[in-house]
Amino acid sequence: MVRLSRDTYLPRAVAGVPGVRIAAVLLTAPDQAVVSHTTAAGLWGVAVPLQREDPRVHLTVATGSAVRGRRDRVVHRSPLVDGDTTTRDGVSVTTPQRTWRDLAALLEPTALLAVTDQLLARWCSRPDLQAELDRRPTGRGSARARAVLSLADPRAESPMESVLRWVLHEAGLPAPDLQHVVRDGAGAFVGRADLAWPEQRVLVEFDGDVHRERDVFVDDLRRQNRLVAAGWTVLRFTSADVLGRPDDVVTAIRAALAR
């Protein structure tokens, strides 16, 4: 057995399973507690990048509640009104839009943009998120949410693509077209790129771990050769570039656009 906190234990074999940890924490939480923040994002299948792994369960309780956090849980105090909560996987959880507004108070814009892109792609419309922001237009995270929402795009296909977009936005580069399809003069498909500036014929690809697999790597090279032969400049970056040397990434893209 593994001790999660006072009077909360789990068999070691399942202690790392998120759903099991949530269920165990809720057994000793007050009835009105609602799963929220990053834990709610996980239940909605939304990845939150650039965060340290934290197995604690995030709960929101009513303002004024005497409930305290423990080693296995983080307790947030905030008013919950009709429409803020729903049920997912058998537990009470904040809705996607309420989860987004809560995370806006905690996350940096880079991570929040990735969350916003995913929510727009799967669970919310832009008016849904705008309505949530209108309901809580001030307070911690409001300016960040407003800035990110204007840039969010459901076409983003990975959290790190979203992170890269925010880096470019902060650097003042023009907004790219996402998932741009390139065709030749006869209209035949040549390739598709994560980010593109069609007028300058510049493409940017973010290569995640899957691109290291042999079959994917070979396909990437062949596609890149086709794009270069068609007159496009192709730049490829990894998380080591975006996170480790973002200034160099910006410089390379700015130079390509200038050419």
CB 216 within 8 A of CB 208: no
- Domain 160-258 class? alpha beta
Bridge partners of 235, per DSSP, are 204
Look at residue 66 in the predicted model and tell me its pLDDT: 85
Look at residue 44 in the predicted model and tell me its pLDDT: 98
Model confidence pLDDT, tens digit, residues 246-256:
999 999 999 99
The contacts of residue 143 (CB under 8 Å, 6+ apart) are: none
Q: Taking the domains of the chain in order of start, what are their residue ranges?
A: 2-154, 160-258
- Alpha-carbon separation of residue 93 from 1, 25, 47 (angstroms): 27, 13, 16
Phi, psi of 231 (to 5 degrees): 95, 15
Model confidence pLDDT, tens digit, residues 189-241:
888 899 999 999 999 999 875 545 556 567 778 888 889 888 999 999 999 99
**What SS3 state is found at 209?**
helix
Residues 22 and 39: their CA atoms lie apart, in Å, by: 9
Helices (H), 136-193: 142-151, 159-170
Using alpha carbons, select from 18, 37, 28 the residue that is nearest to residue 93: 37
Spans of the chain, pLDDT less than 70: 209-217
Longest Cα–Cα distance of the chain, Å, equals: 69
The contacts of residue 223 (CB under 8 Å, 6+ apart) are: 190, 191
Look at residue 67 in the predicted model and tell me its pLDDT: 87
